[in-house]
């Protein structure tokens, strides 16, 4: 069971790291870069990004940490690395909060922007961008921070899990 606990923590940490990296990259590079484009280029670029990101390379690391963290929590409750339990629960809560931000804030904004035709008047593109950009960027930053905090909790849990294994072997 100890090996399963290690695998669940590592899988969760890898997923959290990939998501933290992706959303942080959007916060410090992608969105600032797109902010310098005209409205049509901005809307077109975000539409393309939002369509291509739904793929296994995104979905697996995005979805896998949730069930993995639930299993890690159950294993910790059954006595596998109980000292890591508070960090595992914290990682689960933080990751779930980030997941909810994505589903309730960023995705609906993406869906609305996706419906904007590119052959409309410039003022409609400007309005669509104005309704999207600042709100999406703010919520993206929130989820980047939440994923990063989840990763931090997972790394601490892994450390405690490893330290507990060392104590068992002494």
CA distance 38 to 25: 21
Q: What pLDDT is attached to residue 155?
A: 97
Rounding to the nearest 10 degrees, give the CA dihedral for residues 69, 70, 74, 75.
-30
Per-residue pLDDT reduced to its tens digit, 70-93: 999 999 998 878 889 999 999 999
pLDDT at 2: 85
Statement: residue 151 has pLDDT above 60: yes
Could you give the CA distance from residue 21 to residue 129 in angstroms, rounded to a whole number?
25
Structure tokens at 126: 């400007």
170 pLDDT more than 60: no
Q: What per-residue confidence (pLDDT) applies to 169? A: 57
Q: Could you give the dihedral angle defined by the CA atoms of residues 158, 162, 167 and 170, in that order, rounded to the nearest 10 degrees? A: 180
In 3D space, the residue among 157, 140, 169, 147 whose CA is nearest the CA of residue 61 turns out to be 147
pLDDT in tens, 19-46: 999 999 999 999 999 999 999 999 999 9
* 3-state percent helix, strand, coil for the chain, nearest multiple of 5: 90, 0, 10
Counting beta carbons within 10 angstroms of the beta carbon of residue 79, is it exposed (0 to 12), middle (13 to 18) or buried (19 or more)?
exposed
């Amino acid at each position: 069971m100890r090996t399963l606990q290690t695998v669940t923590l590592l899988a969760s940490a890898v997923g959290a790291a990939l998501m933290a990296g992706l959303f942080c990259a959007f916060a410090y590079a992608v969105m600032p870069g797109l902010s310098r484009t005209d409205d049509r280029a901005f809307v077109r670029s975000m539409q393309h990004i939002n369509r291509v990101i739904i793929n296994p390379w995104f979905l697996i690391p995005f979805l896998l940490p949730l069930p993995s963290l639930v299993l890690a929590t159950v294993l910790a409750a059954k006595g596998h690395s109980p000292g890591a339990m508070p960090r595992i629960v914290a990682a689960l809560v933080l990751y779930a909060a980030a997941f909810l931000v994505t589903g309730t804030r960023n995705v609906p904004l993406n869906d609305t922007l996706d419906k904007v035709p590119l052959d409309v008047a410039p003022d409609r593109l400007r309005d669509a961008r104005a309704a999207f950009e600042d709100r999406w960027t703010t919520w993206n930053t929130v989820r980047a921070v939440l994923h990063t905090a989840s990763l931090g909790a997972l790394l601490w849990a892994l450390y405690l899990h490893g330290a507990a294994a060392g104590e068992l072997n002494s």
